[in-house]
Amino acid sequence: MKYDIKNDGVKYLVNKYDIDFDSIIDRIKEKKYDKVAIQLPDGFKLHALDIAELISNNTSAEVYIWGGSNYGACDIPIGLDKAGIKLLINFGHAKFRADERTKPKEIKNDNDRS
Chain segment 67-113, per-residue pLDDT in tens: 988 876 677 888 899 999 999 998 876 554 555 445 444 544 555 55
Q: Is residue 55 part of a domain?
A: yes
Q: Tell me, what CATH number does 40's domain have? A: 3.40.50.11840
pLDDT at 48 over 70: yes
Using DSSP's 3-state secondary structure scheme, residue 50 falls into helix
pLDDT at 46 over 70: yes
Domains held by the chain: number = 1
Span between the terminal Cα atoms of the chain, in Å:
54
Domain that holds residue 38: 8-93
Order of strands across the sheet that contains 62-66:
62-66, 35-39, 87-90
Q: Is residue 114 part of a domain?
A: no
> pLDDT band at 5, cuts 50/70/90?
confident
